[in-house]
Chains A and B, each alone.
Chain A
Amino acid sequence: DAGVIQSPRHEVTEMGQEVTLRCKPISGHNSLFWYRQTMMRGLELLIYFNNNVPIDDSGMPEDRFSAKMPNASFSTLKIQPSEPRDSAVYFCASSLLLMGTRGNTIYFGEGSWLTVV
């Protein structure tokens, strides 16, 4: 079975450029998460969607960051304009949330390694 698929795996861009990270969740999953991992701050939840609807974006660092989920099989995280402090690994993850269940496993993609110079 295909897992969570992210692209690109690696991106190097110049400060001020727009960056778009893409994610395809596991088929049938109804929840999608974007995390950011840095040495200083560890793993941070940026935003999560349930049934394609953004539920909580309180982790999005600032207005330069935006995320969309136009359908159940695709999501994007966009940074515009990018800054060197945005350099991090960005993980997309998905989960199947069923009514009445709790503690659902979240499955992670391989990550997108972003370097802004």
Chain B
Amino acid sequence: AQSVTQLGSHVSVSEGALVLLRCNYSSSVPPYLFWYVQYPNQGLQLLLKYTTGATLVKGINGFEAEFKKSETSFHLTKPSAHMSDAAEYFCAYSGGGADGLTFGKGTHLIIQP
């Protein structure tokens, strides 16, 4: 069965510091990987996704993620954190087709002033 693991339910960084949110997956088929962000009291918004091709994927708000098949990882990074980045971040997996996404438990990103 496919699964997604996000290491760290809470991550705290200082404003201006590097953001690194970790995601690992397990899958028997080539994965399609997503990062979503959820701001308080709102729905989920797509940050970026990997389907095929370039393994370094750039998304909105300065975020990017790199698909590493050998490490079964899809970590999310941003060079310099901003206060507005404080939110819940979800890594998700899809095996393709019409089925829905399998989500990780989420990582709450806290930005310290």
Report which of B32, B42, B43, B104 forms a contact with A42, defined as CB distance below 8 A.
Answer: B104
The yes or no answer to B90 lying at the interface (CB within 8 A) is yes
- A to B contact number (C-beta, < 8 Å): 56
Interface flags for A41-63 (1: CB within 8 Å of B; 0: not) read: 01101001010000110000000
Range class of the B interface residue count: 20 to 34
User: Which residues of chain B are within 8 angstroms of A104 by Cβ–Cβ distance?
Assistant: 94
Judging by beta carbons under 8 Å apart, are A97 and B98 in contact? yes
Given contacts A48-B98, A55-B98, A109-B43, 10 further A-B contacts (CB under 8 A): A35-B100, A42-B105, A43-B90, A43-B103, A45-B101, A97-B97, A102-B51, A102-B97, A103-B50, A106-B100
* Residue pair A108, B105 in contact (C-beta under 8 Å): no
Residues of B within 8 A of A105 (CB): 34, 46, 49
Cα distance A106–B7 in the bound complex, in angstroms: 23
Cα(A15)–Cα(B50), bound, Å = 43
* Residue ranges of B at the interface with A (Cβ–Cβ < 8 Å): 32, 34, 36, 42-46, 49-52, 90, 94, 96-106
> Are the C-beta atoms of A50 and B98 separated by less than 8 Å?
yes
Q: Are B43 and A91 in contact (CB under 8 A)?
A: yes
Task: Please indicate the chain B residues that have their CB under 8 angstroms from the CB of A25 in the complex.
Answer: none
In the complex, the chain A residue whose C-beta lies closest to that of B44 is A108
Which residues from B are CB-within-8-Å of A97?
97-98
* Alpha-carbon separation in the docked complex, A42 to B96 (Å): 22
